[in-house]
Amino acid sequence: NAGVIQTPRHKVTGKGQEATLWCEPISGHSAVFWYRQTIVQGLEFLTYFRNQAPIDDSGMPKERFSAQMPNQSHSTLKIQSTQPQDSAVYLCASSPDWGGYEQYFGPGTRLTVL
């Protein structure tokens, strides 16, 4: 079991460019989560999918951020017109199924916006 896979591990973009982050959940896990970690805000929830359907995006910034899960083996987080304040480590997690199950995290993608 390879665990949750995230690519790329590091990404540097210029201000105003687009960034796409990829996540491959653990095989058989039907829930996929995205979180963001910064020094100032700590670890904060962004959005999650269950069986590929968006369930809760209450933590997503309303502008420029979007997430998709086109199939059960990967999810993407896209940030349009990146800003320096978007610099963070973006973490993806997966869990087996409905409420009451443990979340497992990938190694994260460190996004740096210059």
Partner 1 sequence: GDKVKQSPSALSLQEGTNSALRCNFSIAATTVQWFLQNPRGSLMNLFYLVPGTKENGRLKSAFDSKESYSTLHIRDAQLEDSGTYFCAAEARQGGRALIFGTGTTVSVSP
Query: What is the helix, strand, coil percentage profile of the chain, to 5?
Result: 5, 55, 45
Tell which positions 51-90 bind partner 1, by CB under 8 A.
55-56, 58-59, 89
Angle ∠(100,104,106) on CA atoms, nearest 5: 155
Nearest to 27 by CA among 87, 110, 96: 96
User: Counting contacts by CB under 8 A, is residue 12 touching partner 1?
Assistant: no
User: Counting contacts by CB under 8 A, is residue 107 touching partner 1?
Assistant: yes
Segment near partner 1 (CB under 8 A), from 16-24, 39-47, 62-70, 71-79? 39-47
User: Counting contacts by CB under 8 A, is residue 31 touching partner 1?
Assistant: yes
- Least distance in angstroms from the C-beta of 108 to partner 1: 6
User: Counting contacts by CB under 8 A, is residue 95 touching partner 1?
Assistant: yes
At 98, give phi and psi (nearest 5°): -55, 180
Distance in angstroms (rounded) separating the CA atoms of residues 40 and 95: 27
Chain residues binding partner 1 by CB under 8 A are 31, 33, 35, 42-45, 48, 50, 55-56, 58-59, 89, 91, 93, 95, 99-100, 102-105, 107-108, 110
